[in-house]
Amino acid sequence: MYKILIVEDDLQIARSLEQVLENWGYEARRVQDFENVLAEFDAFMPDLVLMDLYLPGRNGFYWTDRIRTISGVPVIFISSADENMNIVTALGKGADAYVTKPFDTTVLISKIQALLRRTYDYSPAARYLEHRGLRVYPVSFQAGYLDHTIELTRNELKILTVLLAHKGEVVSREELMEALWQTDCYIDENTLTVNVSRLRSRLSQIGAENYVHTVRGVGYRV
């Protein structure tokens, strides 16, 4: 059973989310102390976090930033603030998706299911993904090749896991962008190009050159 932490100070919304999630078979918990969100996160060890933007004291940006120092679990922002700058800032802090209030609970559940599948279902029995000597460790955000290991950023890990889930196939740029930035906000395609370029550079540091190939006009493959 996946565990979901609800960081929402509106008690009515928080209770409603808790009930909906439990009806869908998830174990849900509402944060009680908004001065110690990280402590409650650490105690519950959730598989996904639903994060409001405006909270008592520190806002959702702050707590997402803190969570990212200790964990790579998916974070979905839920907020009535739908300005593009808020969405971009949330994604920059490490959020995986952004849903604006009021929202359709079925849409939210679909996003939760998709994120949980992408994060945890690539290889249920294995601690790492492997292809042609390169090992990727999703839990620890690391990649290893021969006797060398590097730390991966959130985006680098996602690009690699999506490509490895479709090894031998071409993954379109649109699919990768959807996996990286699940939002209705427009994201410049050049941002994906920059992320792939950085990933290639990082892989070359451990000797895994020419691992990610560009299929011109379509996308990428390993």
Number of separate domains in the chain: 2
Q: How far apart are CA 187 and CA 209, in angstroms?
A: 28
Query: Do 82 and 100 meet the contact criterion of CB atoms below 8 Å apart?
Result: yes
The pLDDT of residue 129: 78
Helix (H, G, I), strand (E, B) or coil at 101: coil
Q: Give residue-wise pLDDT tens across range 1-56.
A: 789 999 999 999 999 999 999 999 999 999 999 999 999 998 888 889 999 989 99
Lowest mean pLDDT among 44-53, 93-102, 137-146, 177-186: 177-186
Query: Are residue 144 and residue 179 in the same domain, yes or no?
Result: yes
pLDDT above 90 (res 153):
no
What is the Cα Rg of the chain in Å?
18
Query: Are residue 88 and residue 45 in the same domain, yes or no?
Result: yes
Query: Are residue 91 and residue 181 in the same domain, yes or no?
Result: no
pLDDT above 80 (res 120):
no
Query: Are residue 84 and residue 172 in the same domain, yes or no?
Result: no
Range of the domain at 191: 129-221
pLDDT above 80 (res 81):
no
Query: Are residue 155 and residue 72 in the same domain, yes or no?
Result: no
Q: Which sign does the torsion angle of CA 165, 184, 20, 59 carry?
A: positive
Averaged pLDDT, 131-137 = 84
pLDDT above 90 (res 167):
no
Give the residue among 93, 76, 200, 61 at the shortest CA–CA distance from 192: 200
Local confidence band at 188 (pLDDT 50, 70, 90 cut-offs): low
The pLDDT of residue 124: 42
Angle value at C-alpha 20, between 15 and 24, nearest 5 degrees: 145
Mean pLDDT of the chain: 85
pLDDT above 60 (res 184):
no
- The residues pairing with 214 across neighbouring beta strands, listed in sequence order, are 220
Q: What is the CATH number of the domain that holds 8?
A: 3.40.50.2300
Q: How far is CA 207 from CA 89, 156, 220, in A?
A: 34, 16, 20
Query: Are residue 93 and residue 154 in the same domain, yes or no?
Result: no
Displacement of CA 155 from its chain's centroid (Å) = 8
Query: Are residue 16 and residue 36 in the same domain, yes or no?
Result: yes
Percent residues over pLDDT 70 in the chain: 92
The set of residues, in sequence order, having a beta carbon less than 8 Å from that of 12 and lying 6+ positions away, is none
Domain boundary among 120, 141, 168: 120
Query: Are residue 8 and residue 89 in the same domain, yes or no?
Result: yes
Kindly report the length of the chain: 222
Query: Are residue 176 and residue 143 in the same domain, yes or no?
Result: yes
The pLDDT of residue 127: 61
Q: Give residue-wise pLDDT tens across range 100-117.
A: 888 888 889 988 988 888
pTM, 2 dp: 0.58
Q: Give residue-wise pLDDT tens across range 198-219.
A: 999 999 999 988 889 999 989 9
Query: Are residue 79 and residue 105 in the same domain, yes or no?
Result: yes
Query: Are residue 8 and residue 81 in the same domain, yes or no?
Result: yes
Averaged pLDDT, 182-189 = 56
pLDDT above 90 (res 147):
no
Query: Are residue 114 and residue 141 in the same domain, yes or no?
Result: no
